[in-house]
Amino acid sequence: MKLPRLQHPDRYVSLYVVDFGRTVSVGYTADEVAMLLESEAYRDVKVYRIYDARPDGAMELKGVPFQRFQLETGLFFYCRDLAGARREFGQIRRLAEESPLPCRAQLLLGKLAEGSRAPYVVGLAYPAEHDEDVSRWMLDHDVTAGETADGGTGRLQVVRRDARIIESEQLHADPARRARSRDEVLASVGEPVQRTA
């Protein structure tokens, strides 16, 4: 696979390379890759996440299976009381407004069944292909919410099934990493560089 020459390869880290067979394109967001994979024409493309890029243009890539783009996952923080959970919810919301997440996400505040040691949960639900990006965002911003924390696709299903949602808010992605429209993505197939990162 021959990648196109990029002006600033380091700016493409955490974006995706799509191998269409005859052509290769660099610079898709995860949401844009999901759009391609949903279309009949591009269902069988090969997808790679860019993990590192050197000044000479060499990139470290990792293959990403199709199924990864069909999952949703989450991170959850548990609190003993509603006041503490509301405080955590507000802090994460304000932080996401000041420094947007790398992807769209749903911020939620919920109450679990009676008898739980920490019955209130504050969580972020987001597309699974962004798991590493959201974890990096949490670490970079030193988010230490709740008394305990967990996450994953299975945990998201449990929270959605068992928690009574008290409040929910849609958080938007960092503008630099927002997906283009489906029409724009499909119209640009074959262009070697999808965005100037």
Domain 70-176 - what CATH class? alpha beta
Determine the pLDDT at residue 197.
66
Nearest to 119 by CA among 171, 83, 91, 95: 83
Token look-up 């997440």 returns: 101
Sequence ranges of the domains in the chain: 9-68+178-187, 70-176
**For residues 146, 130, 96 and 196, what is the CA-based torsion angle, rounded to 10 degrees?**
160
What's the whole-model pTM score?
A: 0.80
Averages of pLDDT over runs of 10 residues in the chain (197 residues) are 88 93 93 92 94 88 90 95 96 96 95 87 94 92 92 94 95 85 93 87
Looking at this protein, which amino acid is placed at residue 190?
Answer: G
